[in-house]
Structure 1
């Protein structure tokens, strides 16, 4: 079954952000500000990409949606980072309605005559190295359920919240249902709705979902430029620093290397 991952990398959508802007030009300026982009790239390189490169099942496609207004400097840097991930495909689009553009990009990449598994992935998060394999196995195990429904959701609810810095990685285990990371939807043939047509927290309102909590499947990046952390009254979340043993566990599960983090964030 075709598996498609979808990642928005600073795409200036109309809607889709908790931080609002009056004009699309203001959103573009906000997204491509140097300080913000430097942080996004550091998280993308050290958290997001390692686990995708190390997937035990490499048979998936990763669509990376960017804006056509992305400055050439940032686009070249993104292209270089994805050069050794053959599953990745950069897709550039003009600003447009968030859910509509995401839907069009995903459907243009899939075989509409066949069923499809789709997962959403933020550029500062990580999934475990067996996520794609586990997703494929879950779909096979739930074949009867998938056959009866146009859409079926899958949600892995145990993982870590983590903050990288020049000293390494601060992280702690968490259990958060429908957080939007390590989340997927099985889509039947000719169904045009995609995982991006639904808010991640509202997925079970629109389809049956199957949830898992047997092992950590995600690492949720925590940083100053999280869209969800830009509103007022958002409290800081102090995280304990990992020791050598904790760093080794994260490396084994997510291919995230604390030494790599220290070099990039130094």
Structure 2
């Protein structure tokens, strides 16, 4: 069964952001600001990509959506970072309505539209466990009876971490967050045009059966200066430096190496 991921990498969509802008030009200026992009690239390199490269089940694809005005030097940097992830492709798109673009991208990525598929969203500053794809497939297999007759079923792993990354290393706190973007996926039956982008992630249970699997830490949600989640609850989590055990867990479970974090953020 095909598994498809979708990552919006500083794509200047119309809508889709908690942080508002009056015009598309303002949004592009905000997203392509050099300091902001530097932070996003550092998080992509140290947090988001290593766990994808280390998946125990490498049978998945992921589309990185960028704007058609994305600066050329940064596009080359993105291509360089994705060179070690053959499952990744870059899709360029002019500014359009957020959900419409993402739904089109996901449906175009389906190799066999008449067969069922698995879909997941992926933020460029988050991580999932190195066995996320394997656990997703196993959960779907174990839910065969539930899937019969359903257009879609969501699968959610609510245990994970909130973390901050900088030149000093990693500070983190364990959290329980149902329907977080990371470690959330959706089964779509064959022939259905539905995508995970048809729905707000926190509202999925309103529209389909949702399986919650609180059996292991499955995500790392990054809090930083430029992500969309820096509002509200982002300021309520108290993080602390990782001890040796925590650093080992981040390395083994999410392929996030604290020495690598320090090196990249010190550059």
- TM-score between the two structures when normalised by the length of structure 2: 0.97
Conserved 8 A contact 1:146-1:152: yes
Q: CA offsets, 1:128-173, max 9 Å, x none?
A: 0000000001111111211220010011000111111111110111
Residue 90 of structure 2 corresponds to 90
Residue 251 of structure 1 corresponds to 251
For residues 235 and 222 of structure 1, what CA distance do their matches in structure 2 show?
A: 9
Rate the CA distance shift 1:131–1:234 in 2: closer, same or farther, 3 A. closer
1:167 aligns with 2:168: yes
Conserved 8 A contact 1:19-1:230: no
Conserved 8 A contact 1:32-1:70: yes
Conserved 8 A contact 2:223-2:229: no
1:222 aligns with 2:223: yes
Rate the CA distance shift 1:230–1:28 in 2: closer, same or farther, 3 A. farther
CA offset at residue 236 of structure 1? 6.0
Q: CA offsets, 1:155-193, max 9 Å, x none?
A: 100011111111111011110111111000000111112
Residue 143 of structure 2 corresponds to 142
CA offset at residue 230 of structure 1? 5.3
1:193 aligns with 2:224: no
Aligned positions, number: 265
The runs of at least 4 consecutive aligned structure 1 residues that moved more than 4 Å come to none
Aligned to 2:165, the other structure's residue is in SS state strand
Structure 2: tracts of 5 or more residues without a match? none
For residues 234 and 259 of structure 2, what CA distance do their matches in structure 1 show?
A: 30
For residues 234 and 127 of structure 2, what CA distance do their matches in structure 1 show?
A: 23
- TM-score between the two structures when normalised by the length of structure 1: 0.97
For residues 148 and 234 of structure 2, what CA distance do their matches in structure 1 show?
A: 42
Conserved 8 A contact 2:173-2:237: no
Residue 152 of structure 2 corresponds to 151
Aligned to 1:229, the other structure's residue is in SS state coil
1:106 aligns with 2:96: no
Conserved 8 A contact 1:54-1:129: yes
Structure 1: tracts of 5 or more residues without a match? none
Residue 117 of structure 1 corresponds to 118
Conserved 8 A contact 1:7-1:65: yes
Residue 182 of structure 1 corresponds to 183
Conserved 8 A contact 1:44-1:124: yes
Q: CA offsets, 1:72-106, max 9 Å, x none?
A: 01101100000010000111101111110000001
Conserved 8 A contact 2:168-2:262: yes
1:62 aligns with 2:62: yes
For residues 180 and 234 of structure 1, what CA distance do their matches in structure 2 show?
A: 14
Q: CA offsets, 1:27-78, max 9 Å, x none?
A: 1111000111000001110000000000000000011111111000110110
1:30 aligns with 2:30: yes
Conserved 8 A contact 1:250-1:256: yes
Aligned to 1:7, the other structure's residue is in SS state strand
